[in-house]
Amino acid sequence: MRNIMYLGILLVVLGVAGIGINHFSYTETKPLINAGPLQVNTQEEHYFSIPLVGSIVVLLAGVGLIIAGRKSA
């Protein structure tokens, strides 16, 4: 049952990170034209937001798993 507690700790860390980091973005480079020595690329920036409610649910689930792992050990 120790694995349940480790999973709970991981979920707590992810939940806290989700609360602290509301959104993040990343840039993707795509080739537009690739004709021999001529190469033209485009860059697209993508945004990803993490819902606060989801982060809180993950955090609470992690705490629940930690408590359940301690009681069964």
Domain locations in the chain? 2-72
pTM for this model (two decimals) = 0.71
Q: What pLDDT does residue 34 have?
A: 87
Ranges assigned E (strand) in 1-73: 23-35, 38-49
Q: What pLDDT does residue 71 have?
A: 78
The C-alpha atoms of residue 12 and residue 5 are separated, in whole angstroms, by: 10
Q: What is the pLDDT of residues 7-24, one digit of tens each?
A: 999 999 999 999 999 888
* Ranges in the chain, pLDDT < 70: 1, 72-73
* Separation in Å, CA 20 to CA 4, 36, 37, 52, 58: 24, 46, 45, 9, 13
